[in-house]
Chains A and B, each alone.
Chain A
Amino acid sequence: MSVLIFSIHWQVMVVLLPLAGAIACFLWPRRGVMLALVCALGTTLSVAGLSWLVVVEGAQRYTVGGWGAPLGIDLYVDGLSLLMLIVTSVVGVAISVYANGYFERSRARAFWPLWLFLWGALNALFLSADIFNLYITLELLGLAAVTLVALAKGAQPLSSAMRYLLVTLLGSLLFLLGVALLYHSSGSVDIAILAERLSASPVVWIALGLMVVGLLLKTALFPLHFWLPQAHASAPAPVSALLSALVVKASFYILIRLWLEIFPPNNFVLGQLLGLLGAAALLWGNLQALRQTRLKMLIAYSTVAQLGYLFLAFPLANIIGWTGALYMLLSHAIAKAAMFMAAGNILRFGGHDSIADLDRIVQRLPLTVTTFALAGVSIMGLPPSGGFVAKWLLLEAAIRSAQWWWGVVLVLGGLLSAVWIFKVVGYAFTPSPVPHEVRAVPASMEWSALALALTAIALGLFSSWPLALMMVGLPFGEGGGS
């Protein structure tokens, strides 16, 4: 058994299985659902195998083509990348189950191969240790995501997909320009080699600046978030879920990778600036969320806000802060996916998602409301939930590094999000005299969303395992934990 586990090249499986699944779904569209579910399962198992490998043997470097950096391309997996892969699998399986109930046949035919392509792109991105390879995975990811947004019917999804496409291309090109400059100043595109060879020079700073701006554009950090709310709100519900949960996180992942590995050490000002933008995102996103009249738009603005939390780790710049931000990423991914799925259920059930008229709907969908409320607990950061653990760690980092003002922002953000969450949950406690015209919601849609929300809660009770996992390979550097 263990021989088998160690002899299979799980890294390769993790990337190739979704791609192969996408091709299979393309070839035999009528079998799409079955193929996709099998593939989702296989990918998850591969991630599990890879986790086993990494937990037992530590961080892994894999040379594709046998050449090794700088000539060839390396794959690198440590606790940080593994955690991203696991989140992707967890959310991915739930979204696959959910989408099975969500799409009718004609759109399902388009959805499955695109979604599997996106999954493959995500996995390739998290594994890559090569910045040019990262560019290609970014493009793969971006094109798949844009097309998925455009799968929704109507003019608005198309417009927002178009805007999203332009933004993501712009981001990729900025990133690529940075890659070009880094290659020419160091002669390699491998992250580890870059880390050795780069020193703080104007070229390096300009290159990194370009890459950071490109990635921030894709991560939709305030004030570059202008494209996100509409794109995430107008996409089909499972797509909204995976965009908010995973796609924006992918570019953030690259950002922290670069920050931790190849950024010159004296980056205090940039860190403070990122933190400031994060704080602004947190407050602005939540305030905008309060103003929204449509549920999905509200949730999308909350994504803008929650992304702000992630950037608070940059000024804190200690291990507790990074683990906090990563834990936030993890729990937000899961909770937000659950929330968008719940919104999808509500839309399916009542045919609209206007917040003012929710009272007629939510009382008839107790499971969905529970999902929303549980996910909301995590997003507010109340115990016991993943969001609480993340906030605790970030707050601890803020106090320990004597930068209490970030703590104030953290607390304020949590309270603001409570306002809109309870605004929605409150409708569950409103009598609904008029029976509304309803469509049944498939059980798979309700239960997959609830499963994710429960996972977000469980993350608050069993945090030691993911926290230990993300330390494999010391992605955040040496030094004592808490």
Chain B
Amino acid sequence: MTLLPLIFDGVLGFTLLWLAWQLLGSPDLFRAIVLFIAFGLLMALIWVRLDAPDVALAEAAIGAGLTGALLLAALARLGPPSETASLDNQGDRASVAEGGGLPFRRWLVALHLVLACGLGYAVMSLPSAAPGLSDAVANSLALSGVSNPVTAVLLNFRAYDTLLEMGVLLLALLAVWSLGSTPDAPPDDQPVGGVLALLARLLTPLLLLVAGYLLWVGGRAPGGAFQAGSVLGAAGVLLVLAGWRLGRRFAQLPLRIMLVAGLVLFMAVGLFVMLVGGDFLTYPHASAGGLILLIEAAATLSIGMILAALFLGIRPDSRADQ
């Protein structure tokens, strides 16, 4: 092993740990979130280093980008940063007092060190040869309808996981809409002019294009519904930031249909192949590629819409309701 990659890996890993340390300890919440976004981007780099480009794409778009945007928006809604920072600091001191003070923290640190050592020992004691499923995936890949193994796992071998996961996403939206009528709902209802609007107008078509590309290429190369969907979601976030809102006409049932389209189509295809004669979600080998693309297309749309809606945080028709 040459020295250069070693140094590279070391720098990556320790920077990541350092970033985590900084973002969790920083007294300034804004700075913490910015560090968190940087943390996410660094994670994406590590994913690439670990030969996981699909994960890297998802991490960059969702882990760093959308989560960061969500947190920043939340911070903005919490109130002026100075106030929250001071409140936070008070809180920190209070927690030391309430938790039994310094001895408590010492115990906690010791406990975590023990935990980390135990886990480290566990990892080191794993056999060096991985008994993973790479061979099994490789053997069945030809039958899966796609050539990107990650997509094959996500949408064919373990499609049931993915279906439930779409459910989690939809559920999160439901939750946010049920709880989201905060008194201090986002004030930015008037269209924002200037740079942001311009940026949005320029970037949105580009992002749509990227999303379409990722979706299309996902069967063969890194990409797929989640990556495409998150790019779409990013476009949506941008539009929301620029002050664009869905028309009243679409905010009702049509919007909801688009939100659930991915999950419904997924379930429908699964049931359809079941009626044809297999088990649930058993695609016929010949049409597997097409069915997966169909599901992915609908899923991309729904994921994008849901992510944007999660960012918006309230039901688009909530005012119409009252």
Contacts and interface: CB of A to CB of B under 8 A. Distances in A.
Contacts of A429: none
B230 interface: no
Interface in A1-18: 9, 11-12, 16
Contacts of B271: 12, 16
Contact of A12 (B122, B174, B280): B280
A268 B171 CA distance: 40
Interface stretch (A200-208, A312-320, A394-402): A200-208
Given A117-B171, A147-B175, A73 B122 contact: no
Interface in B7-55: none
Contacts of B178: 110, 114, 147, 150-151
A66 B273 CA distance: 11
A418 B51 CA distance: 61
B122 A65 contact: no
6 contacts: A16-B271, A19-B267, A65-B283, A117-B167, A185-B127, A203-B123
A299 B167 CA distance: 32
- Bin chain A's interface residue count: 35 or more
A120 B157 contact: no
Contact of A65 (B118, B123, B177, B281): B281
Q: Which 5 A-B pairs give the minimum distances between C-beta atoms? A: A187-B131, A66-B282, A110-B178, A147-B175, A206-B122
A136 B162 CA distance: 9
Contacts of B161: 73, 132-133, 136
B267 A71 contact: no
B136 interface: yes
Interface in B259-275: 260, 263-264, 267, 270-271, 274
Contacts of B165: 136
Interface in A169-203: 177, 181, 183-188, 201-203
Interface of A: 9, 11-12, 16, 19-20, 22-23, 26-28, 62-67, 70-73, 110, 113-114, 117, 120-121, 124, 132-133, 136-137, 139-140, 143-144, 146-147, 150-151, 177, 181, 183-188, 201-203, 206-207
Contact of A203 (B125, B263, B264, B274): B125
B110 interface: no
Contacts of A73: 158, 160-161
B267 A20 contact: yes
Contacts of A132: 158, 161
A181 B122 contact: yes
Main secondary structure of the interface of A (DSSP, over half): helix
A63 B174 contact: no
B140 A140 contact: no
Contacts of B168: 136, 139-140, 143
B109 interface: no
Contacts of B75: none
Contacts of A144: 171, 175
A301 to B, nearest CB: 22
Question: Could you say which of A64, A65, A73, A151 has the most chain B C-beta atoms within 10 Å of its C-beta?
Answer: A65
Contacts of B175: 114, 143-144, 146-147
Interface in B177-232: 177-179
A147 B179 contact: yes
A147 to B, nearest CB: 4
Interface in B125-161: 125-127, 130-133, 136-137, 140, 156-161
A336 B320 CA distance: 40
Contacts of A65: 156-160, 279-283
Contacts of B140: 67, 71
A72 B158 contact: yes
Nearest to A67: B157
B256 A16 contact: no
B122 A187 contact: no
Contact of A140 (B167, B257, B282): B167
Contact of A64 (B160, B167, B260): B160
B102 interface: no
A178 to B, nearest CB: 10
B171 A140 contact: yes
Contact of B159 (A64, A113, A140, A185): A64
Question: Could you say which of B140, B171, B260, B270 has the most chain A C-beta atoms within 10 Å of its C-beta?
Answer: B171
Contacts of A206: 118-119, 121-122
Given A110-B178, A117-B171, A185-B131, 9 more contacts: A12-B274, A62-B280, A66-B281, A114-B178, A151-B178, A177-B119, A183-B132, A185-B126, A185-B127
B108 interface: no
Contact of B279 (A16, A62, A185): A62
A420 to B, nearest CB: 30
B246 to A, nearest CB: 16
Contacts of A121: 167
Nearest to B274: A9
Contacts of A151: 178-179
Nearest to B143: A67
B122 A64 contact: no
Contacts of A72: 157-158
B74 interface: no
B130 A184 contact: yes
Contacts of A12: 270-271, 274, 280
A132 B154 CA distance: 13
B172 interface: yes
A306 to B, nearest CB: 28
B253 interface: yes
B164 interface: yes
Given A19-B167, A124-B164, A202 B157 contact: no
A163 to B, nearest CB: 14
Question: Could you say which of B123, B158, B253 has the most chain A C-beta atoms within 10 Å of its C-beta?
Answer: B158
A187 B280 contact: no
Nearest to A106: B321
Contacts of A110: 174, 177-178
B260 A9 contact: no
B164 to A, nearest CB: 5
Given A110-B178, A117-B171, A147-B179, A187 B279 contact: no
Contacts of B122: 181, 202-203, 206-207
A367 B264 CA distance: 43
A16 B122 CA distance: 38
Question: Could you say which of B118, B130, B178, B274 has the most chain A C-beta atoms within 10 Å of its C-beta?
Answer: B178
Given A202-B125, A203-B122, A136 B164 contact: yes
B191 to A, nearest CB: 29
